[in-house]
Each structure stands twice: as structure tokens, then as C-alpha cells.
Amino acid sequence: MNFRKLIAATSLPIALLCAAPANAKVVDQSEAGFAVAHTAQVAATPADVWKMLRMPQSWWSKDHSWSGDAANFWLDQQAGGCFCEKLPDAGSGVGSVQHARILFSKPNQMLRLSGAFGPLQGEALNGTLTIQIKETPTGSALRFDYVVGGYMRFKVGDIAPAVDKVIGEQLLGLANALGGALPPTRDEKAASEAAEKPKAETPPAKEEPELGAAVADLVEEEAKPAPDESR
């Protein structure tokens, strides 16, 4: 991730920072950290999405690399594996960067990585990127959630929108590599419009982007408590 570009982004107008190719939002922030979420639909099957996820060199932006060349990315999708980048030999030997490590890998459904990307790597932070895939009648629904917490020398109000923009760019890159993001369906538009209307009751503190029933069901499933296996 390009340090100068990310820091420069914090000085851009808020409207530009929050512009995103898919439904996106800084869903929560406090002095302890922040969370961002991005969603999109693609025509590709979950199997095709999973295959592409395993090739970050084909969709993760070179503008958010340390080497300036996306061809240097690689990903081992097994738990404990590395989303890493090779730093070409500049005369002192080949270097490398660990962007994140794999925490959870369930083919065609979910990939979860732990890593503080770019300049966040130099802070005392934990970052968790969860990539969810859900089959839909037209292909697949995608959702990126990135949650960051810990101590950092950046102001959360400045860095959160910039990181939100960066994560959105990666989802756009993935969608483009799969043929481009699909426009929202009529049902999703209605759901999004309904969500924007004022409600009589106080809305929950943490709001999530709308993506229709597919990802809504997926998020609900993940939130269910794990069964008690001690019995």
C-alpha cells in the first residue's frame, strides 16, 4: 500500500473519499478503531470468485503495493498461509512483505485474513479482512469487511475514510477481474431506499450496507453462536 497516497487521501474532500464502486460505508468508528464494509454483485459463480481470490496479482491494485508491481503478489489460501509480496532485488538481495495471514479459508464461501495493510503495518494495530461470497440467481454477492483496532498515531477520523476508499478499490478490482460489478436489482434498490428512509425507532449503532437477501443471510449465519461441542 502506497503510504504517501493513503496519507494524501485524508486531505481530499469527504465526498470523494466516500465515493465507492459498490455499496460502501465506514460502519463504525471510535478511539479504539474502526470498521468499513463494501458489497457488490458479479455474474461469476462462487467457484470462479474463489479461484480469482487466490490470484491477488490479478485484482489487488499495484498502487497499494510496496514494489509497484501487482505481479509480485501471491497468496496461500490455507490457514496460516501468507498474502505476501516479493520485493525485487535492487542490489542487496530479494525482500518480501507479509500483507496478511490467512485465518479462515472455506472455498467458495469465505476467506478471512489478519493484517494491518500499508502504513497501518507500522502501528500497534490488528486488522481483520473478511471476504464473503454468496451464490445468487445472477452469480455471486461479495462483501468485504475490514475491522481495525489498537493503538495508532493516526487520527481515526482521518484514516478511516482513506482506508475505506482503499478497501473499496480492491473490491472493484476483484469485480472487474470477474467481468465487472452488476447493477443492483429492483429488490435491492427498494431495500436500499427503505433503509435510507427515517424510521420511528432509533436505528442500531452499527449499520451494514444493503446487498439483498444473499449477503444478509450470510452475515446472519456467521453471527450465530457456535454449537456447544463439549456435551
* Cβ atoms of 22 and 181 closer than 8 Å: yes
pLDDT tens per residue, range 177-208:
999 999 876 555 555 555 445 544 444 444 44
pLDDT tens per residue, range 211-220:
455 555 555 5
Between 4-8, 26-30, 144-148, 180-184, the lowest mean confidence (pLDDT) is in 4-8
* Residue carrying C-alpha cell 473478511: 130
Radius of gyration of the chain (CA): 18
- 72-78 contact pairs (CB < 8 A, 24+): 73/99, 75/102, 76/102, 77/53, 77/102, 77/105, 77/111, 78/102, 78/105
State the pTM of this model. Answer: 0.75
The rounded distance, in Å, linking the Cα atoms of 206 and 28 is: 6
> Mean pLDDT throughout 41-50?
98
Domain 3-86+96-187+206-216 has CATH 3.30.530.20: yes
> Mean pLDDT throughout 84-94?
92
Residue 4 has pLDDT above 70, yes or no: no
